[in-house]
Every structure is written in C-alpha cells, then in structure tokens.
Structure 1
Amino acid sequence: MKTYDIAAYIWPAYTGDEPRTRMFWPQGMGEWQSVKDAVPKFPGHSWPRKPLWGYVNEADPYVMEMEIAAAADHGVNVFIYDWYWYDDRPFLENCLNDGFLKAGNRDRMKFYLMWANHDANNLWDKRLSQDQKNVIWKGATDRQGFQRACRRVIDRYFSQPNYYCIDGAPVFQIYDLRNLVEGLGGMEETAQALKWFRAETVRAGFPDLHLQLTVYGRVPDLSGVDSGDRGSYSGIGSLLGFSSISHYQFVHFTDIDRDYGEILTDVKAEWARLESQWDIPYFPHVSVGWDNNPRFTGMREGIVKNNTPEAVRQALLMAKAYADAHPGQPPLITVNSWNEWTETSYLEPDDLYGYGYLEAIREVFAAPEDSL
C-alpha cells in the first residue's frame, strides 16, 4: 500500500508558558483565551465552538502524547511547527520544546519547522485587533540575526531523530519571502545567506538542506528590497535555492467567502498554475476552513461555508490524486491545520463535528504511523 506524509501545521500559542504572550493573552492560557471568549457575530454563526479535549496546555508532554496518538492513529504523521524569531530571539517554542519533544510517544510523529517570519502586530490581542497598523516585532531579520536563528535550528532541531527529511535533507519552510529579502538586504544577499544556511547544514552532517517556500496567489512586492531585476516570481525559487513550494492557507490565493465546494475549483486551478509556472516541485495543500472572528470583537467578513468533514474529504481526495500523479516527488501533503482555532481551520475534534476531520483523513489515506 502506498503511504503518504500528511503534514499538519501547528500554531504553538495554546500555552501560557511563554512569558511574552501575556501581553496578548493575560489570562495565562495562550490564545485559548480568544477561543473561550468567542461569541456568534450573526444569526446562524457556528461560534462558539468548543474543543472536545478542553483548553489544554499544548506545552505539556502528557497532553501532546494524547494528541500525537490521535493524529498518528488517523494518518497524520508530520507536524509542521510555526516557528518564530522576534527581537533576535525565539518566540513560542514552548509547545515544541516542552510538549512535543518531551512526549513519550514522539517517535510516532515526524516534525519540521516553518519560519513564520511575518510581522507581529495587534492581531493576537482581541482588545486591539481592529487596528493592525501597530507593529510590535518586525519579521525581517538581518544577516547576523539570520545566522543565529539558523544555527539554533540546525543544532536544536535538525539533530532530532524524528525531524522530517526528504532524501536525508531536513525540510525548513519559510513563510514570508518579502520579509526575508528585506531583512537580508536584497536578492543577491538572500541567495548568499541561504547558501550559507545550506553549507552549515551540510557541515552538520546532512547531505543537503530542503528549503520550502510558502506561495501566495499574487506576486510579492519586492520593490525597494530587490537589488536587481530577477525575472518572474516563479524563477525566484531556483535563484534563491528553494527546493519546493506549498501553501499555508486557501485564503492566500482565493475568495473564501463562499461554499467550500466552489473554492475547490479554484484550488485545483491554482495547483495546475503553479505546476506549469514554477521550476521546483509543488506539494499539494488542503485548508480545513477560514473564519478568524474569534480574534475580533467586531464582525470580520470572509467565512468559508459548508466546510463539513465530507467536503474536506473531497479536498483530501484531490490532494491524494495530485500526489499519485507526481510519482517522482515525495507524497507530501500539507494541511492547515492541526489547531488553528482562531482561524477556524483545525483537525482537532470539536463539539460540532467530533473527530470528523480526522476520520476523513483516515478514510482517504488509510496510512497510520508505519510510514515513518
């Protein structure tokens, strides 16, 4: 039986153990505070939703043992941890370091990192989120900060026995290309920095580094940060040394304020466009939904409709078909997400669908942790 690597993003904010999170969520439970306080914004709005496992601390290894078991039993065998580097130091590592990596059954689950190098603004603070112009921490990092961050990643994470690799090369995803280029000072400088990162990874004993880029539906504005005309966005991948691309969310490239089934038409077209225009492999992505009203006191437009487990199952079947049609690349599929409750895009069981989304994955892929 063919096996697949089903990789679910993890938003590591469901803990109060990181001191710097108290400015956003003073109750000391991380962003569970916003989930717990969510209210319906209009008649028929499906909030509030409640996690069947409760408002658990995901920096607790016993909690993560439960979550790893549930994920692996249903065919999710990779976690992609959102990883942050703000103010020249890591942020929100507790869920990974103290929860996942100390879980007794961590060998059932691979993991890799996505550097979420976007700016941090008022979005996470429900009291202030209506105004997101205030930047608390910049996501752009200069070369010295970049090297310190990369050394931490190589030494602390790539060396873990269950770090996810492709052909022996650890996978590292980068979220925001513009911030990367801006911080490093231009395209040439970014190419040099990534080349250095690759060389340091090889120096640490790996055959290579697999750099993955998050793609969006539009060309990023690199004006003012690109030190020269380097052609189309699709050529940036090979120019900078990226190995593959994937998405983080459907909302990044299509109108999500409609029925989930209608959205899938655009998703299939987007996959075909990326395959034809990019010179590096695309790994198919499935988003469970979108509704970020839990982060706001007022109404936020843009809500995915009818994203039932059966509807998401159709998206998973599309992703499986794409992987099967590309036998020359690893059968990796990214999913948003394991636990993005404040964006209403999660696999964790809730009081609306129970374990429905996880059961959809098991039905489509039927590949438990023995693919590790």
Structure 2
Amino acid sequence: MTDVKPIAFYLPQFYPNAINDINWGQGFSEWRSVVKAKPLFDGHFQPRLPGALGFYDLRSQEVFEEQADLARAAGVFGFCFYYYRMGSRRLLERPLHSYLDGGRPDFPFMFCWANESWTRAWDGKSDDLLLEQLYDDVTKQGLIADLVEATKDPRYIRIKEKPFVLIYQVERIPDRKLWLEELRQAVWSRTGQELTIGCVFSPGLRLEMLRDVDSVVQFPPHRLPRNLPRKLIDVETVSPFDTSREDYFESYDAIVEAALTRVDGFERMYPGVTPDWDNSPRRSKNAHVVVGSTPAKFAAWVRRASDVSREKFQSGSIDAPLLFVNAWNEWAEGAVLEPTESLGTAYLSALTQGICASSV
C-alpha cells in the first residue's frame, strides 16, 4: 500500500533578529507572545508551553537535529519552511541559511513563500503596515536566486523529480501567469530543474488561477473551501469571557468535516490537517479559537485525510501521496506538533497512529 508522506509547515520565527527588534522590541521572538497568553474562558488551554524541546533558539544547529529526530520518529516526511522575500530584503532567513549551510539534519525540506505584507495584526491592527510585500523585478530575482540555492540541496523535496515550492497567496501576484512563467524559466535555465509550483488555498482563489500552478494545498482551519459559511460556536457555550475582545470560536469537529467534505472540490488539491488552532496569544482582540480538539480526534482526522491522499494519488488527481500539517511549531497560534508541557508527545503520537491506521 502507498505510504502517505506528511509535510509539516515550519515557522522560522524563534530567535532574536533585527526586524523584530525594530517592530516589536529588543529580543522579541514568538516565545514572548506564547508565555503571555492567558485563559479566556473556563477550560481554555492557555498558556500552551513547550515540553521536551524547551524555549529553543533557532540560532542553534542542535535544535534542528532534535526536531528532525522527533519528526522522523513520528512519521513526518519533511518540513515546509515559511520563506520571506520582499524586494531586496529576505526576512527570518538565518535558520534557513543554517539548515542549508550545515547540510544537517538529514531531513527533507521545502519552501512556502509567505507573500504577505507585515502588519500589526498581532496587536489587532491589520491596517498598520510595517513592511509591504512587493512583486517587482528585484523581488523576483531574489526569489529565483534563493530557490536556485535551496533546490541544489539533495534534501529539497521533489515531486516527480521536480523541486516543489508553495506560494501562500498566489492570487496576489500581479500578471501572475507571466510572473510564474518567468520564475520557472529562470530556475530551469540556472539549474536544469523544472519547478512544480503549488499554492495554499485561500478564499480569494478562483478556479482560473489554478491554471498557472500545478496544485493547491488545504490549510485548515481557515483556508479551505467550504460548501457553506463557517459556523461559529454559540458564545454562551464558552462563557464567561470578555466580549470586548470580539473573539470568535469554532468547533474542531466542524472544521474536520468541512475539510474532508471539500477536499475533492479542486482536482489537484492536497489534503491538510491541523492538531488545533488558537491565535489568542498573538492577538489582543479578534482571536480565532478552535474548541474541542483532542489527540484522538486529530488521529482520526489524519487517518481519514491520509486515505483521501492515497486515493487521489492512485487516481492520478495529485502527483504524490502528501498530507500537509498546519503546523510543526506555530506556538502562538496553537497549531503545534512539537511536545507540550502538559500533553507531551500526544499529538505527535496521534499523527503516527493516524498514518499507521490508514495504511492497514
């Protein structure tokens, strides 16, 4: 039976760096948001603190080794690193440079270009622009150079011998068809490798946009196609809470069913899963909190989504039996496979159980 290969999104935010110092204060990293989190209602699982890996610093090569060991043992196939490029500026690049330059760990990886402008959304101020995402020739040439460097690495994930790169919001690229054709051609001319380009689903994505890419990836809980509007939980079920925060709550069970129901809505769509979601550590208001996740429910979702991935691959709808996980280490958004202080490796074990159960 075909083995399903889980790929976990990976946030390279966990180290002090100049851009965060400027915008968020000296020494800032995601850990600062994580430790400040507080429960918003009875039974709310916050703060969610790291377990076996501790409050790690991604300037240390040892962290990658420890993460890869945990991921490999749980059945994770590789990491999908968020990659940031705005004009001549590359952001949060140090961990990725370390991963490439050191040649270790021996663990597969790929890039997802997180082509979003940076705002103060974490403070509930989405209109406060910090850095604008550009699509000029300088950005394109920088992206090309970075992909050329990364895809020379034998660890880079390939689909049918082609390096696989994701774009977070492909619909925002002006003159998208030409832009992507030039990207593909430039990488081919420099490396002799043909890219396979996927995009992450978003509500603004239209069917005609998929003509310019090779695949689309589900990204639960909030970036997946739906038949019906998102159904939120009655706030009375999570009271008492501070209504002035304007937070909103969603059932984990409902997200699972929405994801599985619509995974065939796009022919070339890879399924996605998430262990949980809660971005209240990042947001002082208007947080999105998912309610009801357990390791057992996550394992069941992984099993069902793995079956879908295998079936789509065998039918030729997708080019590899992949399953994307949101995420390995989104600590300030509650989407975490890494060990936690309170649950240990429960969600990693659930991933393993789900994959193994689907292969029986």
**With structure 2 as the length reference, what TM-score do the two structures score?**
0.86
Q: What are the Cα deviations for residues 99-150 of structure 1, in whole angstroms up to 9, with x where unaligned?
A: x33567521x1110000001100134xxxx1222111111232133212222
The one of 236, 248, 262 aligned to 2:219: 248
State the alpha-carbon separation in 2 of the partners of residues 110 and 284 from structure 1: 19
Give the 3 Å change call, closer, same or farther, for CA 35–49 of structure 1 in structure 2: same
Please tell me whether the aligned partners of residues 2 and 310 of structure 2 are also in contact (alpha carbons under 8 angstroms).
no
What is the Cα deviation at residue 38 of structure 1? 1.4
1:176 aligned partner = 169
Give the 3 Å change call, closer, same or farther, for CA 164–46 of structure 1 in structure 2: same
1:259 aligned partner = 251
What is the Cα deviation at residue 87 of structure 1? 4.6
2:353 aligned partner = 363
Structure 1: gaps of 5 or more residues? 221-232, 276-280, 368-372
Q: Determine whether 1:219 maps to 2:204.
A: yes
The one of 266, 270, 274 aligned to 1:274: 266
Query: Which one-letter code corresponds to 1:56 in the other structure?
Result: Y
- Classify the secondary structure of the residue corresponding to 1:352: coil
What is the Cα deviation at residue 62 of structure 1? 0.6
1:311 aligned partner = 297
Percent identity, please: 25
Please tell me whether the aligned partners of residues 339 and 345 of structure 1 are also in contact (alpha carbons under 8 angstroms).
yes
Give the 3 Å change call, closer, same or farther, for CA 104–84 of structure 1 in structure 2: closer
Give the 3 Å change call, closer, same or farther, for CA 59–2 of structure 1 in structure 2: farther
2:83 aligned partner = 83
The one of 108, 111, 118 aligned to 2:109: 111
Query: Which one-letter code corresponds to 1:149 in the other structure?
Result: L
What is the Cα deviation at residue 352 of structure 1? 2.8
Q: What are the Cα deviations for residues 209-267 of structure 1, in whole angstroms up to 9, with x where unaligned?
A: 10001112x335xxxxxxxxxxxx212212x2x11110233212445633312222211
State the alpha-carbon separation in 1 of the partners of residues 288 and 172 from structure 2: 26
Q: Determine whether 1:196 maps to 2:182.
A: yes
2:323 aligned partner = 333
Query: Which one-letter code corresponds to 2:207 in the other structure?
Result: S
1:37 aligned partner = 36
Structure 2: gaps of 5 or more residues? 225-229, 233-248
State the alpha-carbon separation in 2 of the partners of residues 210 and 344 from structure 1: 30
Q: Determine whether 1:67 maps to 2:67.
A: yes
- Classify the secondary structure of the residue corresponding to 1:274: coil
Query: Which one-letter code corresponds to 1:90 in the other structure?
Result: R
Give the 3 Å change call, closer, same or farther, for CA 90–308 of structure 1 in structure 2: same
State the alpha-carbon separation in 2 of the partners of residues 87 and 22 from structure 1: 20
Please tell me whether the aligned partners of residues 74 and 349 of structure 2 are also in contact (alpha carbons under 8 angstroms).
yes
2:336 aligned partner = 346
What is the Cα deviation at residue 34 of structure 1? 0.7
How big is the alpha-carbon RMSD for the aligned residues of Structure 1 and Structure 2?
A: 2.0
What is the Cα deviation at residue 97 of structure 1? 1.6
Please tell me whether the aligned partners of residues 220 and 259 of structure 2 are also in contact (alpha carbons under 8 angstroms).
no
Q: Tell me whether 48-57 or 193-202 shows the greater mean CA deviation.
A: 193-202
Structure-to-structure mapping, 1:142-157, within 5 angstroms: 142-154=136-148, 156-157=149-150
Give the 3 Å change call, closer, same or farther, for CA 316–201 of structure 1 in structure 2: same
State the alpha-carbon separation in 2 of the partners of residues 207 and 168 from structure 1: 8
Please tell me whether the aligned partners of residues 14 and 32 of structure 1 are also in contact (alpha carbons under 8 angstroms).
yes
Query: Which one-letter code corresponds to 1:48 in the other structure?
Result: P
Please tell me whether the aligned partners of residues 143 and 193 of structure 1 are also in contact (alpha carbons under 8 angstroms).
no
State the alpha-carbon separation in 2 of the partners of residues 101 and 265 from structure 1: 38
State the alpha-carbon separation in 2 of the partners of residues 27 and 96 from structure 1: 22
State the alpha-carbon separation in 2 of the partners of residues 199 and 332 from structure 1: 26
2:132 aligned partner = 138
Paired residues, what number? 331
2:309 aligned partner = 323
**With structure 1 as the length reference, what TM-score do the two structures score?**
0.83
- Classify the secondary structure of the residue corresponding to 1:358: helix
Query: Which one-letter code corresponds to 2:251 in the other structure?
Result: D
The one of 106, 111, 121 aligned to 2:119: 121
1:284 aligned partner = 271
What is the Cα deviation at residue 356 of structure 1? 0.9
